[in-house]
Structure 1
Amino acid sequence: MTLTRRLFSGAAIAASLLLAACGGGGAPAGQSQYEREGDHAKGPADAPVVFIEYASVACPACAAFHQQAMGTINEYVETGDVRFVFREMITGQPRLAVAGFMLARCAPQERYFDVLDILFEQQRALFSAMQAGTAQQQLVTIARSVGLSEQEFFACMNDETLLQAVQAANQEAADAGIDATPTFIVNGERLEAQRGPEGNTQVWYAGATMLEDEQGPIPYNFEGDTFERIILYFKARAGQ
């Protein structure tokens, strides 16, 4: 059985995963101090805010974040205030996650994030296509939209080395203690939801510190305005 058939018709990938829950040292050249070799990033390496996301293209909560907040984050990437780093995890529907990340890696390097955007936008349709047995055709269409031929798509899906790289990224996330997606690390601090001071709502924390600004505690949600406040909070802490 080819790897392509295993991705779209079997459970071999799921069985091989060590983590499937949805929910630094010296910096390599051209990267921020918070990055590691193999990270996918956009924005200047010297940006005052380095925003790392651990996510899966097959995680509904990740899709919600990308639909609601990524537009805001991209605006700050363009102004040079944010460097956005994406780290792959295999959560949600594992076969779709693996195939999606392999496709993103096979696209031209400058189109990696374009593929992620399309996969998040079409996630629900891809879930339905997986059930109907037509996901492969839909992914071929996505591949063509970023400049890959059908032949190149199938070569990509049958690349064992690429599969191992995606699985290794997932394992590296697990080894780092990441147990759910999406998980955010900003300037080296992990963001988490905890009860706010009033006790009836959840707000964002970085470690033991509640994130707050002149508007008060920053609420736990995936809205663009919320992540703008988070970016400005960390930018201020960086003295900019």
Structure 2
Amino acid sequence: MTVIGRRRWLAAAGAVAVVLLFVAGSLWSDRLDSPGQHRDTARRIEGDVTAYGSVDARVVMIEYADYRCPTCAHFAGETLPLLITEYVEPGLVRYEWRDLPVLGPESFDAAVAARAAGRQGHYWAYHNALFSDESAAADREHWLVLARVAGVPDVDRFALDLFDPALAAEVQADVDEAGRLGAAATPTFMIGETPVVGSQLIEVYRQAIEHELRRAGVRR
């Protein structure tokens, strides 16, 4: 395939992905419109360690994800950094993480560990360490190893926080929120009022964000 042919193929693939996105999104949107469902789950809490960006951003992008989910790891490593540069750092979009540990109790424990690191200002370092981790280990000792990798200053305090029921309750609150929305797969996103299911080409996220920015009155 020539370079031009490959570019055309990628463009066509991206267009198809966008169409599939909005078909899938409309199905999920139907659930959100049912009685008792709420579209606006953005928290916009100042100082929230699981969020990145201005609380005054015009659009909030929420991700429901699992630290042991390979496609979530791909999004975290390849796509999210670009979206942060393009939209979050300029103040247009706020990114909010939600824990959705669907792959077993180890996933729940990983989510608690990230929040324990967050108490010492190292949430995102631990978050990235979890997604970069190629080990199959998922026990207390491994969480301590990752705490050192992430630069958590007081590992002894971190070890105690792993058993704090308040952190487990925070994770469970995210799980309950996802359940109310009908989000069961990871990763699942709510970009403003546009749902996106699965790890997609970056252009899918860009189009959803641009759509929501226009709805918010932002002209670019």
Q: Is 1:63 the equivalent of 2:63?
A: no
Q: Is 1:160 the equivalent of 2:165?
A: yes
Provide the C-alpha distance between the structure 1 equivalents of 2:195 and 2:155, rounded to a whole number of angstroms.
Answer: 40
Q: 1:138 maps to what in 2?
A: 142
Q: Identity over the aligned pairs, expressed in percent? A: 29
Task: Give secondary structure in 2 for the equivalent of 1:151.
Answer: helix
Q: Is 1:103 the equivalent of 2:101?
A: no
Could you tell me which of 125, 128, 142 is aligned with 1:117?
128
Could you tell me which of 202, 208, 216 is aligned with 1:224?
202
For the structure 1 residues 81 and 163, does the alpha-carbon distance in structure 2 shift closer, same or farther, using more than 3 Å as the test?
A: same
Report the CA distance between 1:192 and its aligned residue: 4.5
For the structure 1 residues 225 and 177, does the alpha-carbon distance in structure 2 shift closer, same or farther, using more than 3 Å as the test?
A: closer
Report the CA distance between 1:80 and its aligned residue: 0.7
Residues 147-156 or 36-45, more deviating:
36-45
- Aligned partners of 2:185 and 2:197 also within 8 Å: no
Higher-strand-fraction structure = 1
- Aligned partners of 1:53 and 1:87 also within 8 Å: yes
Q: Tell me: higher relative CO, structure 1 or 2? Use CA pairs within 8 A at least 6 residues apart.
A: 2
Provide the C-alpha distance between the structure 1 equivalents of 2:54 and 2:166, rounded to a whole number of angstroms.
Answer: 30
What TM-score comes out, normalization by structure 2 length? 0.68
Give the total of aligned pairs: 173
1:1-240 counterparts in 2 under 5 A?
34-36=41-43, 40-75=50-85, 76-92=87-103, 94-109=104-119, 110-122=121-133, 125-126=134-135, 128-130=136-138, 135-144=139-148, 145-192=150-197, 222-240=200-218
Higher-helix-fraction structure = 2
Provide the C-alpha distance between the structure 1 equivalents of 2:56 and 2:165, rounded to a whole number of angstroms.
Answer: 35
Report the CA distance between 1:107 and its aligned residue: 1.8
- Aligned partners of 1:43 and 1:80 also within 8 Å: yes
- Aligned partners of 1:34 and 1:187 also within 8 Å: no
For the structure 1 residues 160 and 49, does the alpha-carbon distance in structure 2 shift closer, same or farther, using more than 3 Å as the test?
A: closer
Cα RMSD after superposing both structures: 2.5
- Aligned partners of 1:72 and 1:227 also within 8 Å: no
What TM-score comes out, normalization by structure 1 length? 0.63
Task: Give secondary structure in 2 for the equivalent of 1:50.
Answer: strand
The unaligned stretches of length 5 or more in structure 2 are: 1-39
For the structure 1 residues 230 and 188, does the alpha-carbon distance in structure 2 shift closer, same or farther, using more than 3 Å as the test?
A: closer
The unaligned stretches of length 5 or more in structure 1 are: 1-32, 194-220
For the structure 1 residues 232 and 165, does the alpha-carbon distance in structure 2 shift closer, same or farther, using more than 3 Å as the test?
A: closer
